[in-house]
């Protein structure tokens, strides 16, 4: 939510500290400030208001109250604590509530207004907060919502005409009833939606969500009916969700704003309308109960200190409560009973109060208690044996991958998939590993490995059950060849069976892919007594890899006696930059007639482009020149 620093200042007689100080105070004691922006002479904060506070914090008054408590500056102009002028009750207005969604409704009739553009201060204030200026009346309703958190709505009064007066009601919509919003979109309503209706029972607004086109304020409007109402949070949330129409108003209602916001919000709106648009209040009609009774909450000093890890005294606690302005009673210097203010719906259990006290006192003042060294009293058997399997396979040259739990077609369907090819949960790891194998085959030279040997350990899903499986995939050449590849996975499986001393429950084997159930063998394996030795994860600085193709060239050299492969490799690596020669692998060594031949594979790749054949040839010329310089001979 966007909050204006200059607007916040209007709640205080004393000057606020600079915006950065206010932002830091809010971040560390209330709600995170996600962004600070200069807009004209103002500073706008983007405040991350979370659901626990949203009933009272989605407004400038709410944020100003937090600033007041945190910085210990009195809130001298609090709209919720002003005594408001009592408006005359009008018999001209009839309010009928038949929907359970609305339990409190105030309609105020104002005649003789001049609708037109808003004055600059109002337009600029709204625009600075990302709101569009519509006209002076609509702008004032939005301004008041941003001030107090209470949504308001203004109807052109003639659309409520009924006999000699005006009628407004809240009822459930009829099935299929139409509603055209202020911005012209059409909605088909359901009996679960609550609507505001006018004198002819026609739909004027979607209760708590959005006003309608028909009753909207235009330049010709001279009489208005101002609505301030309390709608039930869950019903508003469901209506907004059903019609995909979340609004500033619905967001406030679904978070449970209090009905006590209504009288001060009406008073503020009436006074602004009189100033900006003229006119006179004819009267008001209220139906329902506006009181909000909050239960008191008792918390002990030892509970506070025990949960927060602090050593507060009772006077620390009461000093903080005084800053909030809560009414409270202290018993025996050990217990305090707090009655939350009417607008706060979130203080119902001792932990809620403890949070209030802790965050304002300062979570930074919590000192850490180092943990005791203890032996975990239970070992995770699946993790233990998964680690044994990893170690065994890695020693065989296998590398571990993680792949997606989603498939394009399988047994268990996701109702709201991200994409059509991710519509199901995998029932096997095999397909994913086949795909991963195919993807890695072209990178063998780059990786400096002759064969792709992969495994994954992960969850697979049947219709009702899920289990951990292990899958291996192998391939030497660009296609699977039983003769070279089968032996690779068969040896790995034999290794595992020998290390685990059990036969594996193989569920799939073929074309270089083998899968078995880890869970099925766990029951047969002995309970481990200790985890393997703790190995710190490696100190690695990850290097992003190039997305341009790599090109391989082989070279075989006759070298003199005593020349090692390592010596040749360092000579070649110092002649071509590592940005270009990204991998150099020793392929083989053989000796014939007293001469030694060494063969190498050079892999060239650029971070910035695709190497052309001509560029590779030029790099090879550099390599040949180095070879010549050392007196080696290209075969």
Partner 1 sequence: MQQPTGHIHPLSQIISEVNSIFAEIGYVFAEGPERELVEYNFDKLNVPQDHPSRDMQDTFYLQGDHERLLRTHTSPVQVRYMLDHKPPIRMICPGKVFRNEATDATHEAQFFQLEGLCIDKDISLGHMKGVLEYFFSNFFGGTVQVRFRPSFFPFVEPGVEVDMMIEKNEQNKLSGKWIEVMGAGMVHPNVLENSGVDSSVYQGFAFGMGVDRLAVLKYGIDDIRLLYNGDLRLVNQF
- Considering only residues 383 through 412, tell me which ones interact with partner 1, judged by CB under 8 A: 383, 387, 390, 393-406, 412
| Of residues 355 and 508, the one with the C-beta less far from partner 1 | 355
Q: Which of 17, 18, 51, 130 binds partner 1 (CB under 8 A)?
A: 51
Q: Is residue 428 within the footprint of partner 1 (CB under 8 A)?
A: no
Q: Which of 586, 582, 283, 589 is nearest to 446 (CA)?
A: 582
Question: Which residue stretch of 160-168, 290-298, 530-538, 563-571 sits at the interface with partner 1 (rule: CB under 8 A)?
Answer: 530-538
Segment 290-329, which members bind partner 1 (CB under 8 A)?
305-310
Contact in structure between 632 and 563 (CB atoms under 8 Å): yes
**Window 261-280: residues binding partner 1 (CB under 8 A):** none
Of residues 123 and 242, the one with the C-beta less far from partner 1 = 242
Residues paired with residue 44 on neighbouring β-strands, in sequence order: 4, 37
Near partner 1 by CB under 8 A: residue from 535, 591, 609, 613: 535
Q: Which of residues 233-252 bind partner 1 (CB under 8 A)?
A: 234, 237-238
Query: How far is the C-alpha of 74 from the C-alpha of 542, rounded, in Å?
Result: 53
Separation CA 85–CA 106 (nearest Å): 15
- Tell which positions 584-613 bind partner 1, by CB under 8 A: 585-588, 601
Q: How many CB atoms lie within 10 A of CB 373?
A: 5
- The binding track of 326-365 with respect to partner 1, each residue x by CB under 8 A or -, is -----------------------x-xx-xx--xx---xx-
Counting other chains too, the contacts that 12-20 makes at CB distance below 8 Å and 24 or more residues apart are 12/64, 12/67, 12/68, 12/73, 12/74, 12/75, 12/76, 12/77, 13/74, 13/76, 13/77, 14/73, 14/74, 16/67, 16/71, 16/73, 17/71, 19/43, 19/45
Reduce the DSSP state of residue 262 to 3 states and report it: helix
Ramachandran angles phi, psi of 248, nearest 5°: -55, -35
Least distance in angstroms from the C-beta of 380 to partner 1? 4
Q: Which two tokens stand for residue 135?
A: 């006209």
Given 5, 11, 29, 104, the residue binding partner 1 (CB under 8 A): 29
Nearer to partner 1, 48 or 275 (CB): 48
Is 529 a residue that touches partner 1 (CB under 8 A)? no
Q: Do the beta carbons of residue 160 and residue 169 sit within 8 Å?
A: no
Using CB under 8 A, pick the residue from 196, 249, 266, 454 that binds partner 1: 454
User: Does an H or E element contain 225, and which?
Assistant: strand 223-231
CB of 485: closest distance to partner 1 in angstroms? Answer: 13
Longest CA–CA separation in the chain, Å = 120
> x/- contact string, 102-141, with partner 1 (CB under 8 A)?
----------------------------------------
Q: DSSP code of 212?
A: B
- Which helix or strand (DSSP H or E) is residue 458 part of? strand 452-461
CB of 417 to partner 1, least distance (A): 8
Among 73-81, 95-103, 518-526, 580-588, the segment contacting partner 1 (CB under 8 A)? 580-588
Q: Among 41, 218, 220, 377, indicate the residue that binds partner 1 (CB under 8 A).
A: 377
């Amino acid at each position: 939510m966007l909050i204006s620093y200059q607007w916040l200042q209007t709640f205080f007689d004393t000057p606020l500290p600079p915006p950065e100080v206010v932002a830091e105070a809010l971040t560390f004691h209330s709600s995170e400030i996600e962004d600070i922006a200069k807009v004209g002479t103002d500073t706008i904060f983007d405040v991350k208001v979370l659901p626990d506070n949203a009933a009272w914090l989605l407004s400038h008054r709410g944020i100003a109250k937090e600033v007041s408590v945190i910085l210990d500056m009195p809130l001298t102009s609090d709209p919720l604590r002003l005594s408001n002028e009592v408006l005359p009750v009008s018999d001209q207005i009839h309010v009928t509530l038949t929907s359970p969604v609305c339990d409190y409704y105030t309609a105020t009739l104002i005649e003789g207004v001049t609708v037109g553009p808003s004055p600059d201060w109002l337009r600029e204030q709204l625009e600075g907060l990302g709101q569009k200026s519509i006209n002076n009346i609509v702008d004032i309703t939005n301004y008041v919502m941003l001030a107090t958190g209470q949504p308001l709505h203004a109807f052109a009064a003639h659309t409520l005409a009924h006999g000699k007066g005006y009628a407004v009601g809240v009822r459930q919509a009829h099935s299929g009833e139409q509603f055209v919003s202020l911005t012209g979109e059409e909605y088909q309503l359901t009996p679960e939606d609550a609507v505001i209706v006018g004198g002819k029972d026609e739909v004027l607004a979607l209760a708590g969500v959005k006003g309608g086109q028909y009753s909207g304020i235009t330049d010709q409007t001279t009489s208005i009916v101002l609505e301030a109402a309390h709608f039930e949070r869950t019903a508003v949330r469901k209506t907004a969700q059903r019609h995909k129409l979340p609004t500033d108003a619905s967001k406030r209602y679904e978070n449970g704003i209090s009905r006590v916001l209504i009288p001060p919000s009406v008073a503020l709106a009436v006074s602004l309308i009189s100033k900006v648009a003229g006119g006179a209040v004819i009267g008001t009609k209220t139906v329902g109960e506006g009181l909000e009774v909050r239960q008191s909450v008792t918390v002990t000093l030892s509970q506070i200190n025990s949960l927060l890890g602090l050593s507060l005294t009772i006077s620390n606690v009461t000093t903080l409560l005084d800053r909030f302005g809560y009414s409270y009673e202290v018993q025996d210097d050990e217990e305090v009973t707090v009655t939350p203010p009417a607008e706060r719906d979130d203080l119902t259990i001792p932990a809620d109060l403890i949070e209030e006290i802790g965050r304002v006192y300062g979570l930074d003042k919590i000192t850490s208690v180092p943990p005791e060294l203890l032996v975990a009293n239970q070992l995770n058997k699946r993790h233990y044996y998964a680690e044994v399997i990893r170690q065994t396979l890695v020693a065989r040259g296998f590398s571990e991958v993680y792949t997606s739990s989603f498939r394009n077609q399988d047994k268990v369907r996701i109702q709201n998939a991200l994409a059509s090819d991710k519509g199901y949960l995998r029932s096997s790891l095999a397909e994913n590993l086949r795909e991963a194998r195919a993807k890695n085959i072209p990178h063998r030279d780059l990786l400096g490995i002759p064969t792709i040997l992969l495994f994954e350990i992960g969850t697979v899903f049947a219709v009702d059950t899920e289990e951990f499986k292990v899958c291996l995939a192998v391939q030497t050449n660009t296609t699977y060849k039983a003769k070279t590849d089968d032996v690779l996975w068969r040896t790995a499986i034999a290794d595992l069976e020998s290390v685990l001393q059990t036969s594996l429950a193989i569920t799939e084997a073929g074309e270089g892919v083998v899968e078995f159930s880890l869970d099925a063998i766990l029951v047969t394996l002995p309970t481990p007594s200790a985890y393997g030795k703790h190995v710190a994860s490696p100190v690695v600085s990850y290097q992003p890899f190039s997305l341009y193709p790599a090109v391989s060239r082989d070279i075989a050299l006759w070298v003199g006696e005593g020349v090692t492969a390592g010596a040749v490799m360092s000579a070649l690596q110092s002649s071509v930059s590592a940005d270009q020669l990204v991998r150099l692998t020793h392929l083989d060594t053989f000796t014939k007639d007293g001469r030694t031949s060494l063969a190498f594979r050079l892999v060239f790749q650029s971070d910035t482009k695709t190497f052309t054949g001509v560029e590779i040839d030029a790099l090879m010329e550099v390599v040949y020149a180095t070879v010549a310089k050392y007196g080696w001979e290209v075969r």
